[in-house]
Amino acid sequence: MPGLHNRFRNSWRVLEQLKNRTPILILILSLLALMLVGTAGAVRVIHATSTDPFCISCHEMEGVYEEYRKSKHYSNAAGIRTECQDCHLPPVHDATDSVGYLKAKALALKDVYHHLLGTYPTPEVFDRDRLSMAHDVWKRMLSTNSAVCSECHSGGLVDENHPAGEADNCITCHMHGKPIAHARPWQPTAEVGVEHEAPSVEATQ
């Protein structure tokens, strides 16, 4: 019987210890629940703000969206449509890529900031800074060897318009040559795909 008494006493001691730690356990479980809810909410927000409807919900994007609608990235014989995020956000294949993706999303907050501030009330004002904005996109694509293009154009393009041996970084040619999904930023009213005189070297640096 002494053994049974000792086991009972030990069990009671454990229950007393758990009782004393209950507030801490509740706090830890509450924090974990908040983290899970916050993470799920953040994922939903990131997904919702990476869609075409969200991108064109600001009046500043109306003109560039119409340009995109005239391009082969919107409508083509293959029936494949490239959306805004496919070109303007880096591809994600693993956890390492997620860092660059989140960084790009954070940098995109400046667009929301300028929209709320009313920086570009008219298309004319938007066009004034368009070359500078395009230059930021070009630099990002140059630094990643146009990785977003490879997501669809795997293996590169070799045809009459893309001879073998030319620059592998797509944007190297397209930022000066034929536009892809948007009109030239230095001639924003131009039709997509129409050739125009390129700006001076100083204008694109």
Residue boundaries of the structural domains of the chain: 1-48, 59-204
Which pTM value belongs to this model? 0.68
More confident residue, 115 or 179: 115
pLDDT digits (tens, 9 = 90+) for 20-35: 667 777 778 888 888 9
pLDDT at residue 136 above 50? yes
Tokens 């536009």, residue located: 179
DSSP class of 196: -
**Mean pLDDT over residues 130-138, rounded?**
87
- Look at residue 30 in the predicted model and tell me its pLDDT: 85
pLDDT digits (tens, 9 = 90+) for 146-164: 888 888 877 555 555 665 5
Distance (Å, rounded) from C-alpha 113 to C-alpha 99?
22
Give the torsion sign (CA, 85, 87, 90, 93).
Answer: positive
- Look at residue 195 in the predicted model and tell me its pLDDT: 46
pLDDT digits (tens, 9 = 90+) for 42-86: 888 888 888 999 999 998 998 899 999 988 899 888 888 999 999
- Look at residue 53 in the predicted model and tell me its pLDDT: 92
More confident residue, 156 or 113: 113
- Look at residue 17 in the predicted model and tell me its pLDDT: 63
- Look at residue 84 in the predicted model and tell me its pLDDT: 92
Decide if 167 contacts 173 (C-beta within 8 A). yes
More confident residue, 157 or 106: 106
Distance (Å, rounded) from C-alpha 185 to C-alpha 157?
24
- Look at residue 167 in the predicted model and tell me its pLDDT: 56
Q: Which residues contact 133 (CB under 8 A, 6 or more apart)?
A: 185
From the CB of residue 116, how many other CB atoms can be counted at a distance below 10 Å?
9
From the CB of residue 31, how many other CB atoms can be counted at a distance below 10 Å?
10
Q: How confident is the model at residue 197 (pLDDT cuts 50, 70, 90)?
A: very low
